[in-house]
Amino acid sequence: MNKGSKLYEGKAKIIYETKDKDLVIQHFKDDATAFNNLKKAKVEGKGVLNNRISEYILTNLAQCGIKNHFIKRLNMREQLIRKAEIFPIEFIVRNIATGSLTKRLGIPEGTVLEKPLLEYCYKNDELQDPLISKDHIFSFGWASKKEIEEIDITTLRINDLLSGMFRGIGIKLVDFKIEYGKAWNKDSEKKEIVLADEISPDTCRLWDIKTEKKLDKDRFRRDLGNVIQGYQEVARRLGIMPEETNISEVNFGKTTSIKFKKK
Ligand code: 5GP
């Protein structure tokens, strides 16, 4: 698949055109940002890991009937995806209180929520992605009632599926952010809502079940060190890194070269 011109460059990814107007290439960069771009760094190998982890998760979700934009991985940093018109909304699900929830409302860090909490944020860097209500979404036409009804159900189902997937490998899914878009369906000749963007340690909070060690972007946000090792640990437990790349508790702090299992 030949890469065309750049359509969009975000903080962690670049989108390129292809010859097919309904398909684009998503390129994963090593750039990490936090606190509205105030903190920036390159985390070598992050793009490669997120490409693989997101491929694994979206493929598994598709097998469970969650329609998404992923088509195939093209190489270490790129994947072919369906072009989607992204809703300007971040959908956040929380199972355990941390991050902005604790800051905003004073809920004690680590409180296990009685049921998953679904939040909406307006996707706007200049405004720092503010928290919004459903009425904001409807008032400003960012999505319709019917679309949000469908997305809410899908989002909570994704939380169930991902929580189970991560529990199976000794990881708690604390919270995550997902995005949706509308993509053309050739068969029905209509646009349909699809899960888009990525699901990776950049967009989820993932804690080791036993030790509560953070295996996600909070290692970067909070200067905890060993950022890439956290991401590698997630990839290894998901079974997408070879066993010989053994990043166990013992050698968590060592730099390990990234190798992958052949498909
Ligand atoms: P919080 O609102 O506590 O900062 O984030 C809640 C969850 O959503 C976390 O898992 C966080 O990684 C994710 N999240 C929220 N906003 C963004 C964003 O703009 N970019 C990324 N990559 N993740 C986000």
The pLDDT tens digits for 128-164 are 999 999 999 999 999 999 999 999 999 999 999 999 9
Average pLDDT of the residues in 170-190: 97
Residue 99 alpha carbon, nearest atom of ligand 1 = 3
- Residue 252: the pLDDT is 39
CA of 4 to the centre of ligand 1 (A): 30
pTM: 0.93
The number of distinct structural domains making up the chain is 2
On whether both 195 and 164 belong to a single domain, the answer is yes
218 lines ligand 1 (CB under 6 A): no
CA 258 – CA 263 distance, rounded (Å): 16
In degrees and rounded to multiples of 5, residue 117 shows phi and psi of -105, 125
From the list 229, 244, 189, 256, the residue with the least C-alpha distance to 46 is: 229
CA 80 – CA 37 distance, rounded (Å): 27
C-alpha torsion angle, residues 105, 128, 140, 6 (rounded to 10):
-140
244-256 pLDDT tens trace: 554 333 333 444 4
Give the number of other CB atoms < 10 A from CB of residue 179.
19
What is the CATH number for 230?
Answer: 3.30.200.20
- Residue 118: the pLDDT is 98
- Residue 150: the pLDDT is 98
On whether both 164 and 241 belong to a single domain, the answer is no
What is the CATH number for 99?
Answer: 3.30.470.20
On whether both 136 and 198 belong to a single domain, the answer is yes
CA 20 – CA 1 distance, rounded (Å): 9
On whether both 70 and 94 belong to a single domain, the answer is no
Share of the chain above pLDDT 90, in %: 89
Domain that holds residue 199: 87-208
Give the number of other CB atoms < 10 A from CB of residue 255.
12
- Residue 247: the pLDDT is 38
On whether both 56 and 107 belong to a single domain, the answer is no
- Of all protein residues, the one whose alpha carbon is nearest to atom 14 of ligand 1 is 177
Q: Do 50 and 138 form a contact (C-beta atoms < 8 A)?
A: no
From the list 11, 6, 206, the residue with the least C-alpha distance to 96 is: 206
On whether both 42 and 79 belong to a single domain, the answer is yes
CA of 121 to the centre of ligand 1 (A): 10
90 lines ligand 1 (CB under 6 A): yes
217 lines ligand 1 (CB under 6 A): yes
On whether both 155 and 97 belong to a single domain, the answer is yes
On whether both 202 and 98 belong to a single domain, the answer is yes
Q: Is pLDDT above 70 for 19?
A: yes
Residue 187 falls inside a structural domain = yes
CA 176 – CA 166 distance, rounded (Å): 12
Q: Do 201 and 217 form a contact (C-beta atoms < 8 A)?
A: yes
100 lines ligand 1 (CB under 6 A): yes
Entry field: residues in the chain = 263
- Of all protein residues, the one whose alpha carbon is nearest to atom 12 of ligand 1 is 203
- Residue 249: the pLDDT is 35
On whether both 136 and 109 belong to a single domain, the answer is yes
41-56 pLDDT tens trace: 999 999 999 999 999 9
Q: Could you say which DSSP state residue 88 is in?
A: S
Residue 1 falls inside a structural domain = no
CA 178 – CA 259 distance, rounded (Å): 28
Q: Is pLDDT above 90 for 39?
A: yes
176 lines ligand 1 (CB under 6 A): yes
On whether both 36 and 55 belong to a single domain, the answer is yes
202 lines ligand 1 (CB under 6 A): yes
Q: 2: pLDDT confidence band, cut at 50, 70 and 90? A: confident
CA of 93 to the centre of ligand 1 (A): 10
Share of the chain above pLDDT 70, in %: 92
- Residue 1: the pLDDT is 76
Q: Is pLDDT above 70 for 90?
A: yes
Looking at residue 131, its amino acid is L
Give the number of other CB atoms < 10 A from CB of residue 151.
20
Residue 241 falls inside a structural domain = yes
Looking at residue 175, its amino acid is D
CA of 89 to the centre of ligand 1 (A): 12
On whether both 151 and 188 belong to a single domain, the answer is yes
Pocket test for ligand 1, best of 31, 33, 57, 175 (most atoms within 8 A of CB): 175
